[in-house]
Structure 1
Amino acid sequence: MELEMYDHSDGKLTDHDRELCEGVLAFAAREINLTPYSSMSVTFVRNPEIKEINRKYRGVDRATDVISFAINDDDDDVFEQLAGEERLDLGDLFVSLDKVDEQALFLNHSKDRELAYLLVHGFLHLNGYDHETKEEEAKMFAIQERILTNYGLPR
């Protein structure tokens, strides 16, 4: 999987965060058997920027932790249509590093666990998983926890 990362965090993003992002997303891609001919981006932001994105695209005027913009939200057959070496663009994630810090403290776990959780959660959304119903939630969250546990960041 090709991964592009962008830093809009005003120096808050560390090399360790970048390595964790690359590692956990590559691991997650293998866990769900994602085609190697896929790509996505992750942009690391602070609360003011993610608040503006949340307001503009979701109509919610508050900062959130992760927002995913799936390229193929309306095309259920896109994964079957991939042929040869055509690149499958999954979409874009925006992650608030301020929320990573806040939520890690609130949940009493490591920043690594929180960052990986948000990355995997958003990644699964980009791959068609959702939690609108109890059944969808159970499936998505089970996969999410399996990935994080197997990666070495259990709850």
Structure 2
Amino acid sequence: MITFNYETDFTLENESSLENWIQKIILKHDCEEGEINYIFCDDAYLHKLNVEFLQHDTLTDIISFDNSLGKLINGDIFISVERVEDNAKDFKVTFLEELQRVMIHGVLHYIGFTDKTEEDQKEMTKQENASLLMLI
């Protein structure tokens, strides 16, 4: 079950189509959907989590807490709408494009992709791009 929660005024307009898309990505990687909670928030909310749980005193666009059990995908994905908006401008893409990339990024982590090394980052970007094409 995929749920969308809001700690800010922002809301998604197309929850059901995004839910279907995320489910397709999970199945494509031979995994099973468990409970995935998206929490959309602002910079201050996510910064507090970053400091408290990860000891990182920086702003970030996403923090994901992975509770997956093997191939059963579970977790909480916190997304700063403010950071996504700023990053979209920096990367010269639409807000929606950047939001969708960040949303699937968290799920790809749960599936097993990482972004610790340059090589891992390239693979993650490749997986994000392939996933975004499945949304069209």
State if a TM-score over 0.5 links the two structures: yes
Q: Secondary structure at the match of 2:112?
A: coil
* Equivalent-residue separation in structure 2 for 1:105 and 1:20 (angstroms): 25
C-alpha distance in structure 2 between counterparts of 1:89 and 1:151, whole Å: 20
Task: Please give the TM-score of this superposition, normalised by the length of structure 2.
Answer: 0.86
Q: What is the CA-CA distance between 1:23 and the residue it aligns to?
A: 4.1
Summarize the Cα distance change of 1:148–1:52 in structure 2 as closer, same or farther, 3 Å threshold.
Answer: same
- Looking at structure 2, the residues matched to 71 and 25 of structure 1 have their Cα atoms a distance apart, in angstroms, of 17
**CA RMSD, aligned part only?**
2.0
Runs of 4+ in structure 1 deviating by more than 3 angstroms, as ranges, are 18-21
Deviation at 1:31, TM superposition (A): 2.8
Structure with max Cα Rg: 1
Structure 2 counterpart of 1:3: 2
Counterpart residue number, 1:98:
82
Aligned-residue identity in percent? 20
Q: Distance in 1 between matches of 2:91 and 2:16?
A: 23
Per the alignment, in what secondary structure is the counterpart of residue 69 of structure 1? strand
Q: 2:11 aligns with which of 13, 29, 54?
A: 13
For 1:54, the equivalent position in structure 2 comes to 50
Q: Do 1:27 and 1:151's aligned partners in 2 also have CA atoms closer than 8 Å?
A: no
Unmatched segments (≥5 aa) in structure 2: none
Unaligned runs of 5+ in 1: 80-87
- Does 1:28 pair with 2:25? yes
- More deviation in 132-141 or 92-101? 132-141
Q: Which sits farther off after the overlay, 25-34 or 42-51?
A: 25-34
Where relative contact order (Cα < 8 A, 6+ residues apart) is larger, the structure is 1
